[in-house]
Chains A and B, each alone.
Chain A
Amino acid sequence: MRQGDAWAVIRARGLSKIYREGKTELRALDGVDLEVRAGELTLLMGPSGSGKTTLLSILGCILRASAGKLEVLGEDVATLQESELPRIRREAIGFVFQGFNLFPTLTAEENVALSLDVRGIPRSKANKRAEELLREVGLLEKARSFPADLSGGQKQRVAIARALAGDPPILLADEPTAALDSTSGRTVIELLQRLAHVHGRAVVLVTHDPRVLSYGDRIIHLEDGRILREEKNSEGVMSEPASIEAAATPMGISREFSI
């Protein structure tokens, strides 16, 4: 039931990416087929240079594939103009980065609210929402703190709150635990898992971190730009998504969200 088409928020068929530099060609991705489903925590693993980050960038509509087809929430990305990609990113996707990428001149609350400002949400509403999200990630008391005053784990939780601010059904995370100690790393991965399992979001993680393996529902191994194999982790499968319908709602329709 969980692998049915209705849950596939991203569908990729034959994705390839070739980087060209002069006469040199580097095939970073080579015919990748992949479905990303709501309510699942999908891990992308592989050695350096295997194409994980390239794949994540393409799935996140940050990078265009050289060939293949990509659908995000049913929308064919290949047919969209370059200028429309920011809209897809705003409406469908939240990003979490290895280096947090928080704005050092803004407080935790302002960092989260900025994500809503980008979406044109008025300041007062954005601040209120930022406060709610920080409460949900357990950092309300740090709302007025600047990133420099937060620990790595706290920064990453602020970054997750920021990624969730626009209420995206898809969350893409690049090595979110790599820079964290084991306790912080566990807090972050548990938070991401909860977002998938309890709130029905599709969460995709690029990771090298063996500590997170047991949390993934699916583990996709990449090598030389190809999917080597896919594993399903029965231990990682927890409860049914609580808001599957919400997660599968087409873009552009507002949904109330709480973690």
Chain B
Amino acid sequence: MGLLARRNLFHDKVRFAVTLTGIVFALVLIIIQFGLFLGFTTTTSNNIDHSNADLWIVFHGVGYFDTGRNFSERKFYQVLSTPGVERAEKYMQAFGRWKRPDGREENIQVIGFHPGSGLGEPWNVVQGSTADLRQEDSVLVDELYREKLGVREIGDRVEIGDHRARVVGFTRGIRSFTTSPFVYATFKTSLDYTNPASSEDSTAYILVKAAEGVAPKQLKERLSERLNDVDVYTTAEFSRKTRFYWMFTTGAGLAVLTAALMGLVVGVAVVAQTIYAATMDHIREYGTLKAMGATNRYLYRVLIEQAVWSAVLGYGLAMIVAHFIVAASEKGGAVILMPWLMSAGMLVLAIVMCITAALVSINKVTRIDPAMVFRG
């Protein structure tokens, strides 16, 4: 049975190549779409997930990271005086205007933090360091945006919101989902760049580290009771809210998930068509098998084995193609993520897809009249 399945599958090499192409196309399409989805979701909450904070305190009603609204600094001192808080830092996020050396302007997101605090710092700094930000009017940007921001190396000078700025370092792989690159500066410098309405109301977020032995949830409740007009989230909660906002409220997630679903449908259709055509080519042989006493179950196993072979080989090729695409995406504006769980899931998906596709053929084979073998 195994031999027949393999021979029938591999005998017509052109047809088999078409089958594999269909499977690879579908799987790569699904991998890219799901990978983009994962990449997008990760990107939207990047700064939260890398903040090293236990809690995020935000202006009441702020639902996601990119719309931080400033509130009074007094709250910061209230937080500091709350039992169970080991450390708290002010954190700023605001949109600003970046004037390139050639005069062109770009929108940016300014992130203000306290270098050395261990909270809310940029990560993956590949040139310079966060400590260099202590120099006046200095910023860190991601090397992905060198071109967009018109800077090439450390020392390049630009203007942000009519203030001078000097690039003192680069990060690697910190993307912005909003297309406005993140520009990291000290909290104080970031205020210069974003001009809040009043220096009193200058804090967009307060990042909190709980003292050892204090559960973040417990501290969250304590802070919520003490503070008015703000919301307190655990880092995971705020991250989830931000991801959910971008992925499902804006429709961005729906678009990539729909495309992934389309990939699945296309894959099933292509594979179903090719397996069906191959079955029809061998229909007389299946009739002969039935006449010889083969049960429907025996024939199903032949077809399912063909489907599984197609799936496994198609998956192998798709993973090779996907590997190159994922690697290439690391240097692009949108990252495609393919964690191992997704890779394993794709194998299961490929097998399910191919077996689903084989159902059309299974239905056909079930209906074969073995008496056909006596008809010329």
Judge whether A53 and B292 touch: CB under 8 Å: no
| Residues 66 to 117 of chain A near chain B (Cβ within 8 Å) | 83, 86-91, 93, 95, 97-99, 101, 103-106, 110, 114-115, 117
B184 CB to closest chain A CB, in angstroms? Answer: 64
A60 within 8 A of B: yes
Judge whether B285 and A119 touch: CB under 8 Å: no
Judge whether B376 and A95 touch: CB under 8 Å: no
Closest B residue to A87 by CB, please name it: B293
Judge whether A106 and B284 touch: CB under 8 Å: no
* A–B Cβ pairs within 8 angstroms, 30 of them: A53-B374, A53-B375, A57-B371, A62-B370, A62-B373, A62-B374, A63-B371, A86-B290, A86-B293, A86-B294, A87-B293, A93-B293, A95-B291, A97-B373, A97-B374, A98-B376, A101-B284, A101-B285, A103-B4, A103-B7, A103-B285, A106-B7, A114-B4, A114-B289, A115-B292, A117-B1, A117-B4, A118-B289, A118-B298, A162-B292
A161 within 8 A of B: no
C-alpha gap A56/B7 in the complex (Å)? 31
Chain B residues with Cβ below 8 Å from A105 are: 4, 7-8, 11
Q: Mark A104-139, 1 if CB is under 8 A from B, else 0.
A: 111000100011011100000000000000000000
B14 within 8 A of A: no
Top 9 A-B pairs, shortest CB-CB distance: A90-B293, A105-B7, A89-B293, A105-B11, A101-B288, A118-B294, A86-B293, A53-B374, A62-B370
Closest A residue to B1 by CB, please name it: A117
Q: Mark A145-183, 1 if CB is under 8 A from B, else 0.
A: 000000000000000001000100000001000000000
Q: Mark B1-27, 1 if CB is under 8 A from A, else 0.
A: 101100110010000000000000000
Judge whether A95 and B373 touch: CB under 8 Å: yes
C-alpha gap A88/B240 in the complex (Å)? 64
C-alpha gap A105/B8 in the complex (Å)? 6
C-alpha gap A98/B372 in the complex (Å)? 12
| Residues 293 to 327 of chain B near chain A (Cβ within 8 Å) | 293-295, 298
Chain B residues with Cβ below 8 Å from A101 are: 284-285, 288, 373
B83 CB to closest chain A CB, in angstroms? Answer: 75
Closest A residue to B8 by CB, please name it: A105
Chain A residues with Cβ below 8 Å from B295 are: 83, 86
Closest A residue to B370 by CB, please name it: A62
Judge whether A106 and B288 touch: CB under 8 Å: no
Q: Mark A30-60, 1 if CB is under 8 A from B, else 0.
A: 0000000000000000000000010011001
Judge whether B4 and A89 touch: CB under 8 Å: no
Task: Pick the most buried of B1, B3, B8, B292: most chain A CB atoms within 10 A of its CB.
Answer: B292
Judge whether B374 and A57 touch: CB under 8 Å: yes
A55 CB to closest chain B CB, in angstroms? Answer: 10
Closest B residue to A178 by CB, please name it: B376
Q: Mark B323-350, 1 if CB is under 8 A from A, else 0.
A: 0000000000000000000000000000
Judge whether B3 and A110 touch: CB under 8 Å: yes
A35 CB to closest chain B CB, in angstroms? Answer: 22
C-alpha gap A152/B118 in the complex (Å)? 84
C-alpha gap A56/B291 in the complex (Å)? 12
Judge whether A119 and B376 touch: CB under 8 Å: no
Chain A residues with Cβ below 8 Å from B285 are: 101, 103
Using known A-B contacts A103-B285, A105-B8, A118-B298, determine if residue A60 contacts B3 with beta carbons closer than 8 Å. Answer: no
Chain B residues with Cβ below 8 Å from A89 are: 291-293
C-alpha gap A97/B4 in the complex (Å)? 20
| Residues 193 to 214 of chain A near chain B (Cβ within 8 Å) | none
Chain B residues with Cβ below 8 Å from A63 are: 371
Chain B residues with Cβ below 8 Å from A60 are: 291
Closest A residue to B3 by CB, please name it: A110
C-alpha gap A97/B375 in the complex (Å)? 10
Chain B residues with Cβ below 8 Å from A53 are: 374-375
Judge whether A119 and B293 touch: CB under 8 Å: yes
Using known A-B contacts A86-B295, A103-B4, A118-B294, determine if residue A97 contacts B288 with beta carbons closer than 8 Å. Answer: yes
Judge whether B374 and A174 touch: CB under 8 Å: yes
Judge whether B291 and A99 touch: CB under 8 Å: no
C-alpha gap A62/B295 in the complex (Å)? 13
| Residues 253 to 295 of chain B near chain A (Cβ within 8 Å) | 284-285, 288-295
C-alpha gap A97/B8 in the complex (Å)? 21
A252 CB to closest chain B CB, in angstroms? Answer: 13
Judge whether B4 and A90 touch: CB under 8 Å: no
C-alpha gap A144/B292 in the complex (Å)? 22
B206 CB to closest chain A CB, in angstroms? Answer: 71
Chain B residues with Cβ below 8 Å from A119 are: 293
Chain A residues with Cβ below 8 Å from B1 are: 117
Chain A residues with Cβ below 8 Å from B294 are: 86, 118
C-alpha gap A90/B375 in the complex (Å)? 21
Chain B residues with Cβ below 8 Å from A56 are: 374
Chain B residues with Cβ below 8 Å from A110 are: 3, 7
Chain B residues with Cβ below 8 Å from A83 are: 295
Using known A-B contacts A105-B8, A118-B292, determine if residue A99 contacts B3 with beta carbons closer than 8 Å. Answer: no
C-alpha gap A99/B291 in the complex (Å)? 14
Judge whether B289 and A99 touch: CB under 8 Å: no
Using known A-B contacts A62-B370, A98-B376, A101-B284, determine if residue A106 contacts B290 with beta carbons closer than 8 Å. Answer: no
Chain A residues with Cβ below 8 Å from B293 are: 86-91, 93, 118-119, 166
C-alpha gap A114/B288 in the complex (Å)? 11
Closest B residue to A123 by CB, please name it: B3
Chain A residues with Cβ below 8 Å from B291 are: 60, 62, 89, 95
Contacts A62-B373, A95-B373 aside, 6 further interface pairs with beta carbons under 8 A come to A57-B374, A105-B7, A106-B7, A110-B3, A117-B4, A119-B293
C-alpha gap A87/B3 in the complex (Å)? 22
| Residues 360 to 376 of chain B near chain A (Cβ within 8 Å) | 370-371, 373-376
Chain B residues with Cβ below 8 Å from A93 are: 293
